[in-house]
Structure 1
Amino acid sequence: MSLDLRLRHRFGAFTLDLAFAAPDGVTALYGHSGAGKSTIINAIAGLVRADEGRIAIGGRVLQDSASGLWVPTHRRKVGYVFQDARLFPHMSVRQNIGYGAAAVADPSTVVDLLGIGALLDRRPGSLSGGEAQRVAIARALMSEPEILLMDEPLASLDPARKAAILPYLARLRDEARLPILYVSHALEEVAQLANTLVIIKDGRVLANGPVADLLSDPGLARHVGIRGAGAVIEARIARHHDDGLTELSAAGGPLFVPALSGEVGQALRLRIEAQDVMLSLDRPHGMSALNVMAGHVTQVRSGEGPGVLIQLSVGDEGAKLLSRITRRSADALNIRVGMPLFAVVKTVAVAPGDIGPIGNT
């Protein structure tokens, strides 16, 4: 099932005019405040009636301005999760997730998926922020929606609670088998969760495609934030070492990261920030950094300041890596497209919050 959307909507001096498709899994909507992201998901939910456009989920049309078709909000089969959980304070968790549930919905599946079995008899006031958001997601899923809309669902959580809920969202992505539209300003969430990325700028689609391709594109770095620019690569846990490191099998060779709790063989995706990647003409020796990957240059892009973004292709499968260095360093190394280079990444530079499971789908 997929979402197909084309919208044109004017409010004040701002015009939203865009089209994109979202497949099963997580499609992240990314852009600065005021770009139009919330308007998009509100239009899908039926909370905003776009001036023109067509919205269809799995072939079922929710709006078609050409024919005048408009499906009311309560008949759209849309699940919506907001920044704050918006649970009913006078109801237990069990009652909250049952509110508005489809008649045939099985709560046990959703309860197990989100790990809220121990919370069922508690009231919302006794829940942590992360627990409350898991309950809100469960309530949305119990309506058996055809699409799940999530509007910055982790924005109000501190880093520890955000890290605790991300694995549940990854399970939801891999097991729910429905399109999830996920609005976020946090690149670590996008990199961990999203299959597809849609970058919105001034009401238009600036870029749309696989998250690994877009986040490693030097040409898009200024739109996602130059300091947060980085690549997403896939790896598997190869071995846990006694000195507190986990060895990963990745494109370009082994990668060592701080100890992970996953089992050997588990598939992961890692976000490596461009500012944490050093470059060398020769394979380095006699240094503290453990991670060295061989590759060749595929793009070189200079910024307005002193920095240069270098895109590398590493490994036999051509995984993309991004490095941000000074123009002076790039000139000293005479970096050009096609030349071989070695990328060096400090082990502690890959934070646990930048590593997430891929799943078995």
Structure 2
Amino acid sequence: MLRVDVFKRLGEVAIEAAFESKGSVTGLFGTSGAGKTSLVNMIAGLLRPDRGSVSINGDVMDDTAKGIHVPPHRRHIGYVFQDARLFPHISVRSNIDYGRRMNGLAHDPGAERHVVDLLGIEALLDRRSGGLSGGERQRVAIARALLAKPKLLLLDEPLGSLDAERKAEILPYLVKLRDEAGVPMVYVSHDVGELRVLASHVVVLKRGRVAATGGPEILA
């Protein structure tokens, strides 16, 4: 269960959003400037709310009334950005192992094999990430996040920089991730088609506020 009830002023813009979701994929939908990334950054702990609270499965991440703010590295949240943010000079194998090592987790060959198979990156492991296509980079970034064993996975416009062909390539992997990984996700997009395919619950943002919540059918 993800519960969010936050307020944050950013210059002339105010983010004021409250929602809860039990779904496997919570879609955050809105046009550019609606506040989607700012809201996700508050869930991740990268941005502190001026007031309000964030909790995941009952674990409080933020509660301004009680002075609680869990720093990002202690939230056990995986974050996949639009630009993947891989290290181009090292191999895919080393890239996907980075999150595990940074979190001080023991190497788990079984989990690694499952994630590699889930995302279809076996043939990429010994390649340097700088030579990968956009879709391949995003699959590697998701693998890296999953191997850090997050309690929640945030994906901020992961297909936003890809052309239609690359989007069609990676979308089936995201569906497989939803159905098999067992990690709840928050998926940010301004693409109705993506959210209709992936999301179990949708939050529509307009000008920093929640305009509607419900199943994917609210995007019709």
TM-score (norm 1): 0.58
> How many Å separate the matches in 1 of 2:89 and 2:57?
37
> What's 1:298 paired with?
none
SS at match of 1:138: helix
1:139 to 130, 141, 144: 144
Q: Residues 26-67 of structure 1: CA distance to partner in whole angstroms, max 9, x if unpaired?
A: 111111111111011101111101101111111111111111
Q: For residue 120 of structure 2, what is the aligned residue in structure 1?
A: 115
- The letter of the residue matching 2:9 is R
Contact 2:89 2:130 in 1 (8 A): no
The match for 2:69 is: 70
Could you tell me which residue of structure 2 aligns to residue 82 of structure 1?
81
Aligned counterpart, 2:42: 43
Give the SS at the match of 2:171.
Answer: helix
Aligned-residue offset at 1:203: 1.2
Which residues of structure 2 form unaligned runs of 5+? none
The residue number in structure 2 matching 1:160 is: 165
RMSD between aligned alpha carbons? Answer: 1.1
Structure 2 residue identity aligned to 1:45 = A
Counterpart in 1 of 2:201?
196
Query: Which residue is equivalent to 2:189?
Result: 184
Secondary structure in 1 matching 2:99: coil
Q: Are 2:214 and 1:215 aligned?
A: no
Matched residues, number:
214
Q: CA deviation at 1:104?
A: 5.1
Following TM superposition, by how much is the alpha carbon of 1:202 offset from its aligned partner in structure 2, in angstroms?
1.2
Q: How far does the alpha carbon of each residue in 1:103-131 deviate from its partner, in whole angstroms, 9 at most, with x for none? A: 25421111011010111000012211101
Contact 1:24 1:177 in 2 (8 A): no
Distance in 1 (CA, whole Å) between partners of 2:107 and 2:63 is 30
Number of the residue aligned with 2:106: 103
> Partners in 2 of 1:193 and 1:14 — Cα distance?
29
Q: Which runs of 4+ in 1 moved over 6 A?
A: none
TM-score (structure 2 length as normaliser): 0.94
CA distance in 2, matches of 1:185, 1:69: 32
- C-alpha separation between the residues in 2 aligned to 1:104 and 1:75? 19
- Deviation, structure 1 residue 24: 3.8
Indicate the structure with greater strand content.
Answer: 1
Alpha-carbon distance in structure 1 between the residues aligned to 2:201 and 2:70: 27
